Structure 1
Amino acid sequence: MAQPREADGRYRQSALSLKREFPDYCKFPRFRAAEPGSVTTEVSMKYMLLIYGDETALNESEREACYVESTQLAQEIKSKGQYLAANPLYPTASATSVRMREGKRLVTDGPFAETREQLGGYFLIDARDLDEAIGVATRIPMARKGTVEIRPVIEIAGLPAG
């Protein structure tokens, strides 16, 4: 389903709009202080930025440059309080897929599915809304050669903090 846009063209997906749209999933919005020591709070949302691309698209020097640029982006968003985690992944040849069917474990080498683009890494960020998450995603180097999928993270009570 396409995200609704406001008249100014911006997306307005936020923790509160997701809670309204998916009430069974979004029961625990988080709040953060607008400034350290401030009593003003704003709702924030965790977003997973999944980075897809052809894992053979970059040569070794391009891959290293991508890592450097990604590290710089991570440092910048950390200084703004948005960074939670980020990592590239090893190629799909190193993947192992696990399925449980009728109580039996099925383990296979390789990715879950053969696709044109492969999951190559991720950023986990904290953002006010989808617009802010899109702003970060557009700065991920592989967005220029592949796709960055943005998914809101459901936070459930009882999980240990990272």
Structure 2
Amino acid sequence: MRYMFLIYLDEAKFAVMSQSQRDGYVNAMLDYDAELAAEGRLVFSEPLKTPDHAITVRTWGGQLTTTDGPFMETKEHLSGFVVIEARDMTEAIQIAARMPLAETGSIEVRPLDVLERIA
């Protein structure tokens, strides 16, 4: 079964780190992805640009509106994602716990769903 790890980070925690500490997280995440790939678990993984690069689109009531950035009520924002193959939720959680960014952010583990056309 496929699971998505949604990575949430607070940029303020990284702002006080040295460049070498930030680089350490980048390298650790690249190593983590390489480990998942070697295990045959990695489906896809990508970081996201910070929220100031995002646009939120809505077409409520048939009216198109756009807003700079995402709607956020917390300090953490969606920073990236990893899609893996795992036996079940328990195994997916164990794999997510190995992610270096789990030390400073939070990782939401969510099973992917399959949509099928309804006749």
TM-score (norm: length of structure 2): 0.87
Aligned to 1:56: 12
Unpaired segments ≥5 residues, structure 2: none
Aligned to 2:57: 98
- Residue 114 of structure 1, CA deviation: 3.2
Equivalent residues, number: 114
Aligned to 2:114: 155
| Structure 2 residue corresponding to 1:126, chosen from 85, 99, 103 | 85
Unpaired segments ≥5 residues, structure 1: 1-44
Query: Which amino acid in structure 1 is aligned with residue 13 of structure 2?
Result: A
Aligned to 1:7: none
- Residue 157 of structure 1, CA deviation: 4.4
Q: Distance in 1 between matches of 2:81 and 2:23?
A: 16
Q: 2:38 aligned with 1:79, yes or no?
A: yes
Give 4+ residue runs of structure 1 displaced > 3 Å after superposition. none
Query: Which amino acid in structure 1 is aligned with residue 9 of structure 2?
Result: G
The structure that has the greater radius of gyration is 1
| Aligned 8 A contact 1:51 1:148 in 2 | yes
Comparing both chains, which one has the higher relative contact order based on Cα–Cα distances under 8 Å and sequence gaps of 6 or more? 2
| Aligned 8 A contact 2:29 2:101 in 1 | no
Aligned residues: CA RMSD: 1.5
Aligned residue for 2:12, secondary structure, equals: coil
| Richer in helix (by share) | 2
